[in-house]
Homo-oligomer: A and B are copies of this chain.
Amino acid sequence: MASQPYTYEHFNITFPPDHEYVAHVEINRPSKLNAFIEAMWLELSQIFTRLSTDPTVRAIVLSGAGPKAFTAGLDVHAAAEGTLSPESAQIDPARKATHLRRHIHDFQHCISAVEKCEKPVLVAMHGFALGLAIDLSVAADVRVCTEDVRFAVKEVDIGLAADIGTLSRLPKVVGSFGWVKEVSLTAREFGAAEALRVGFVTHVYKDKGAAVAGALGLASRMAGKSPVAVQGTKELLNWSRDRRVEDGLRYTAVWNSAALQTKDVEAALLSGIQKRKPTFEKL
């Protein structure tokens, strides 16, 4: 962390001393159930863009501050001010569409910073995890939650189709397309057990402390491997998800034609033979 501290208005960023190479990002607006205002997603994007190339970071955990919520989603009251303002009715609908499209693109772009981050991102969710919570968590790599979590794809309840990522990513994160449609079209809540059963989360923990600890443990495990191998794995899985098998294979071969030249393979092989923990150069 030599250069500049990670200080942000709406997020706490810490580097847990017993989890080498792991960063912990906490959404920090607990008084409002961590609901997002525009300044927050702009910050979020800056944070993940920076962590992406920070050589002291190899895995990231994202969670929410306070006891009540990962995030209750978009701060609708703040957002509604623009939408409900009287003058907007007189604008040419095509011009208004242009402004809305640019705004949605910018917002999507901020959330996609989590997906584009070169390091694995694990999300630990507790309490309310509504609307934007889903958009945000499906842009991450691994999701875990507490027993008390309350998930919902909430957008149809406020008259809109989710447009920041849920409808594009949730069908690729969970196998049952019928389930994705049911929860997206009804906005009904679902809990930890259902989330585990359909594969939305991979682990359920007793409470928030355990969930964050569990996520940090998984993150540490990833951070202990060769960063060349781990970052390549994330990239190749994300590429392959959206493409046919043959394109996955071909891109992988080109990628590894450089990556396999790393000294990390030798380091990992030798430490495996010698039964000791390998160390890897920063990346």
Copies of this chain per assembly: 6
Q: Which of B93, B120, B236, B249 contacts A262 (CB 8 A)?
A: B93
Chain A 238-281 against B: per-residue CB contact (8 Å), 1 yes, 0 no?
00111111101111111111111111111111001000001011
Which B residues lie within 8 Å of A42 (CB)?
none
Shortest CB-to-CB span from A78 to chain B, Å, is 12
A159 is an interface residue with CB less than 8 A from chain B: yes
Chain A 46-83 against B: per-residue CB contact (8 Å), 1 yes, 0 no?
00000001000000000000000000000010001001
Question: Which residue of B has the minimal Cβ distance to A84?
Answer: B266
Which B residues lie within 8 Å of A259 (CB)?
94, 97, 160-161
Which B residues lie within 8 Å of A266 (CB)?
80, 83-84, 159
A102 is an interface residue with CB less than 8 A from chain B: yes
Main secondary structure of the interface of A (DSSP, over half): helix
Tell me the complex Cα distance, A136–B125, Å.
35
Which B residues lie within 8 Å of A232 (CB)?
160-161
Binding site for B on A (CB under 8 A): 53, 76, 80, 83-84, 92-98, 100-102, 104-105, 108, 112, 115, 120, 141-143, 155-163, 165, 167-169, 171-182, 184-188, 198-202, 218, 221-222, 225-226, 228-234, 236-237, 240-246, 248-269, 272, 278, 280-281, 283
